[in-house]
Chain A
Amino acid sequence: DVKVTQSSRYLVKRTGEKVFLECVQDMDHENMFWYRQDPGLGLRLIYFSYDVKMKEKGDIPEGYSVSREKKERFSLILESASTNQTSMYLCASSLTQGRYNEQFFGPGTRLTVL
């Protein structure tokens, strides 16, 4: 089974702190994604990566950056956390030529910024 793990289930940070959210997948997937999920807004794509050291902006990249130094790991970075970044963050991965392009999701990290 594909497994996507995220470093924390719950995280509380203060405004202005630098925050790292880590995601690891164990199935050699090329593609990795970071979404945030907010009530009434569904999933919104922040950044994605199609290869190591490669990144592309999604729909809402402002205030975030990412790092993909290894194929299995995709990190989301909040350089200076703000209260409007309080949200559920979901990581996902997929194969480039995967079976019907299925994305596999991690369990999510609920981040609260005080």
Chain B
Amino acid sequence: GEDVEQSLFLSVREGDSSVINCTYTDSSSTYLYWYKQEPGAGLQLLTYIFSNMDMKQDQRLTVLLNKKDKHLSLRIADTQTGDSAIYFCAEIHRDDKIIFGKGTRLHILP
């Protein structure tokens, strides 16, 4: 299908790890992205991974890419209240159009 799929909601306890999963559609996508949208704000690029990589780590963030299954995940270690946001998975198609998923709302429990 044409949709980038991700679950709409995730609830995690503060201090635990959060894992947000995404299934994308275009096996030729060169870049895959995770955008973060905090309440009342626009989207901001959180991290990205180039398609020839399997993993990318940046401080508390780990991105895993499984090209065979077209599966992308974002792991946030030691989740904090400031991580509460909507996280969008996105891919770039051959026509350079970026396709966004519907967003996963991450809710942090005390």
Interface residues of A (CB under 8 A from B): 4, 35, 40-43, 45, 90, 92, 100-108
Q: How far is the CB of B92 from chain A (nearest CB, A)?
A: 6
Q: How far is the CB of B31 from chain A (nearest CB, A)?
A: 5
Interface residues of B (CB under 8 A from A): 8, 31, 33, 35, 40-45, 48, 50, 88, 92, 96-98, 100-103
Residues of A within 8 A of B8 (CB): 40
Closest residue of B by beta carbon distance from A99:
B48
Residues of B within 8 A of A92 (CB): 42-43
Residues of A within 8 A of B103 (CB): 42-43
A/B interface sample: 6 pairs, CB < 8 A: A40-B8, A41-B102, A43-B103, A90-B43, A92-B43, A101-B96
The answer to whether A43 and B40 touch across the interface, beta carbons within 8 angstroms, is: no
Q: How far is the CB of A31 from chain B (nearest CB, A)?
A: 9
Q: Per a CB cutoff under 8 Å, which of B40, B41, B48, B100 touches A102?
A: B48
Q: How far is the CB of B20 from chain A (nearest CB, A)?
A: 14
Query: Given known contacts A40-B8, A40-B102, is B31 in contact with A105 (CB within 8 Å)?
Result: no
Query: Given known contacts A42-B88, A43-B88, is B45 in contact with A103 (CB within 8 Å)?
Result: yes
Closest residue of B by beta carbon distance from A103:
B98
Query: Given known contacts A100-B50, A101-B92, is B100 in contact with A43 (CB within 8 Å)?
Result: yes
